[in-house]
Structure 1
Amino acid sequence: MTSKDEPGRERDVDRAWQDIVEHYGERAEVEADTAPPVAPEPEAVASTPPVYEQYDDEERFVPPPPPPLPRPEPRRQAAWIGLFASPLILLVFTVMGWHLPLLMSYALVLAFLGGFGYLVVMMPRGPRDPGDDGARI
């Protein structure tokens, strides 16, 4: 940090550090006639907060209603239902101690695997816009 052009500065820094090390842990000396700070009067504090202007409700921005959510195509919707509902049904039956017919258990596992497989196969292969890095504002 010090340059070779300033040898005296390096000695001053060394002396300052030596002084810090020698006096480490000592209490600072405070003058006895120093009084503790006095809190301001409550009336003075009450008059200092800023007063905000009142705005009419007519001036407020009201955003337009959002567009309706898009409906997925029926096959994709069935795949999502199979992906989430099948494990949920199996979990509920297992926790409650109810026995599910073996064929129904296999059908739920197949619905889960089929839904997952369908969604993976139908994923887009590339980005929507080749120059898009994914950031949206």
Structure 2
Amino acid sequence: MQRPLNTITLSFLLFSGAACTQDNKPLQIRDEVVGIVGSETVTYMRYNTEEQPCITLQLESAGVAKTLCHYTDQQGNTVDVTTDVAAVDYLSPKFTADVFEVTLDLISYYLDCRIPLTETTIGEPVCTFKDMD
């Protein structure tokens, strides 16, 4: 009886290892926009939103990166794109002066978001709820 149990355990370990290898592959960037804040290069990265619904902003020289998954509207309601919505799309990403602007399409409504930036910090998103037209 000892032998079959060892075979089952070994099979389970091999199968688990293969699954972990697949999950650890790096995400491919689907959309990338580069901007300048002061003398700092800032990069916006969006991935396949079915695999990674959050976006990333990165300050190149400062070595600062922030993954953004939580967005709060003007009434204080927070949306976590990893758990609170069925799907998300990021529309019209752009840098203006010291702000990154993007519109979140959350299927039934939009959030127009502004993320303040300095040469060393990435702020929290400040969003405005907008009905679909």
TM-score by length of 2: 0.17
More helix as a share of residues = 1
Larger Rg: 1
Whose strand proportion is higher, 1 or 2?
2
Per chain length, whose mean CA-contact separation is higher, i.e. which structure has more relative contact order (CA < 8 Å, sep 6+)? 1
TM-score (norm 1): 0.17
